[in-house]
Amino acid sequence: MRRWCLLLAASLLLGVAVSSGWAGDIVTVPTANQLKAGEVDLAVYYISVDDGSLIPPLRPLDIDYVRVQTLYVGVTDRVEIDAHRYDVEMLGVATIWNATVLLQEESLERPIIVIGGRDLSRVYGTASYFVSAAKTLNPPLAGPPTEPIVRLHVSLGTEDNTLFGEERHEGLFGGVQVLLRPSSPAVGLVALYDGQDVITGLTVVPEPGWPTLKAGTFGGHLWVGVSHTFNVQ
């Protein structure tokens, strides 16, 4: 089970639901994005692992891919609970549980602030904790939105070693989301630094209410995925 820790960085899949603005999270990179009560986000991803970019201890494992399924649930307007299921080639399946709690709602003057934890069931030995803030620099007001819409992220966290066995999310990390085109098709971009690697993503929602199509890079790896956000209330 412990050797899975060396592979999960390939699951850094950027969950930006441009159909509703911003997703409840950017997978494995803690942010202050959070779902409201009754909102649910489901996603599936496939990651092609580039052995040439891996640290030497990984190469003997000869892992070619990782499949990931994620579930985000807005329990209340202040509490979100997430489950991430990792299916690693030849190594089997494991699920980690995460949660965030809203401390301050976003306004025109103030950022949103949340606190949270990853791997709370300690599948990989220890949980990690963080405080995250986010602010939309030019939120849509009256009339058509000003394009692009830019959202900045910054977080402060403790060591999270579930990803390639490396120390991530310790100290300061964060990045930017950009909603290039709010209308159909809605198009978004992401660029983040998690303390170890740069993560990029492109998201497209063909029509309102459709699933979000995604693709991007994490270090030397490539990923593709699809997610859908809906309300159960």
**CATH number reported for the structural domain that contains residue 130 in this entry:** 2.40.160.40
pLDDT in tens, 75-129: 999 999 999 998 876 667 889 999 999 999 999 899 999 999 999 999 888 999 9
DSSP track, 59-88: GGG---EEEEEEEEEESSSSEEEEEEEEEE
Task: Specify the pTM.
Answer: 0.82
> How many domains are contained in the chain?
1
The C-alpha atoms of residue 175 and residue 198 are separated, in whole angstroms, by 9
pLDDT in tens, 62-73: 677 888 899 999
pLDDT in tens, 148-192: 889 999 999 999 877 655 688 999 999 999 989 877 898 999 999
Domain extent, residue 159, equals: 2-231
